[in-house]
Amino acid sequence: MKVPFLDLKAQYETIQHLMNAAIQQVIDQTAFAGGPFVERFEKDFAAFCNCKYAIGCSSGTSALRLALFSLGIGEGDEVITAPNTFIATAEAISACGAKPIFVDIDEKTYNMDPDLLEDAITPKTKAVIPVHLYGQVCEMEKILRVADSHGLFVIEDACQAHGATYKEWPAGSMGDAGCFSFYPGKNLGAYGEAGAVTTNKPELAEKMRMYRDHGQQSKYYHSMVGWNDRMDGIQGAILSVKLQCLAQWNQARRNHAQAYSQRLSEFPDIITPSNPVNGNHVYHIYAIRVRFRDTLMKHLAERGIGCGIHYPVPIHLQKAYRHLGLAEGFFPVAEACAREQVSLPMFPELRPSQIDAVCQAIETALPVIN
């Protein structure tokens, strides 16, 4: 049996009428850029994240950029994040003129190790961006405590964690700002590019709204230099409808993760993801860790099982960040994960027979490649 890594068509088929109607509504009202559908989604999403404000924008990358610029971070500043993230986290830091600083990750959660944070802080540090990788929220209490005691802003990169929780708090509600991506493959995915920033701070919300729309206070009156990071009306309409399904989709992902882990944790050569004790994981990615990753992936590919690597090269070893002068060995846990992790098929519509096929393919691989 072939199992795709991701199947967006399967989801569309379950909500086809709703999606088509949502798109038609936007066309009927020609509310293409910003407008009432985006505003409605902003209200819905802010409520979902238990935040006062959500500012819709054009991508997760733009969400991070809006937050950093609006907090006044720029040239000469340092921003701390994790080395095992999508490049966009570091790019946003670079885009505002600041320097990305990395701290290694925790072996169990694959998230920023909060005990290493304090040592990375210098007089230039202005903010920290914890990344809730794979859908698991970082140790926010520790991170917030360290950030508070040094007067740092906290920007949550929640691009993989829509609906995840830490204790009673939703991802995106704990820092000064929470950044979300609605890239089609994310847990809440648009039919195109989109993102949002959440915050409880009215001045910050206002500033992000202005940056997003050319620094406009009112039409054609520009009080600051901004740019265009607006969200499409069609994406707003789609996301409002899909948001109503998100809790159910996230629960399906958790069930799939549990099914995988139950079966795969029997094998001492496989490290399955840790399930958080104080919150809900939303399994944007289900990654296992194995020493013989590349051989396993080849074996799975031959059997029609789609897999991925998130991410094969940590940011500090990317060519684009060579100028930082960081070498192999600086962040050993993140580097080991980049060598040893493989992401298995994960999407809400995954069927038990497909999970079975993936596990079976892994099980037959073990004696061959070990």
Ligand X SMILES: *Cc1c(COP(=O)(O)O)cnc(C)c1O
Q: Which residues contact ligand X by CB under 6 A?
A: 59-61, 85-86, 88-89, 131, 157, 159-160, 181, 183, 195
- β partners of residue 271: 289
Q: Which helix H or strand E contains 154, and what residues bound it?
A: strand 153-157
CA–CA distance, 216 with 280 (Å, rounded to integer): 39
Residues ≥6 apart with Cβ < 8 Å to 316? 83, 102, 324, 326, 330, 331
Rounded to a whole number of angstroms, the minimum distance from the CB of residue 363 to ligand X is: 30
Strands 53-57 and 195-199: antiparallel
At 270, is the secondary structure helix, strand, or coil?
coil
Rounded to a whole number of angstroms, the minimum distance from the CB of residue 284 to ligand X is: 7
Residues ≥6 apart with Cβ < 8 Å to 46? 52, 53, 54, 198
Rounded to a whole number of angstroms, the minimum distance from the CB of residue 201 to ligand X is: 21
Q: Which is nearer to ligand X, 78 or 229 (CB)?
A: 229
The residue of the chain with the least Cβ separation from ligand X equals 60
Q: Which is nearer to ligand X, 144 or 188 (CB)?
A: 188
Residues ≥6 apart with Cβ < 8 Å to 170? 48, 49, 50, 51, 163, 164
CA–CA distance, 72 with 112 (Å, rounded to integer): 24
Strands 99-102 and 286-289: unpaired
CA–CA distance, 150 with 366 (Å, rounded to integer): 48
Rounded to a whole number of angstroms, the minimum distance from the CB of residue 110 to ligand X is: 12
The sign of the dihedral angle between the CA atoms of 6, 8, 9, 13 is: positive
Rounded to a whole number of angstroms, the minimum distance from the CB of residue 59 to ligand X is: 3
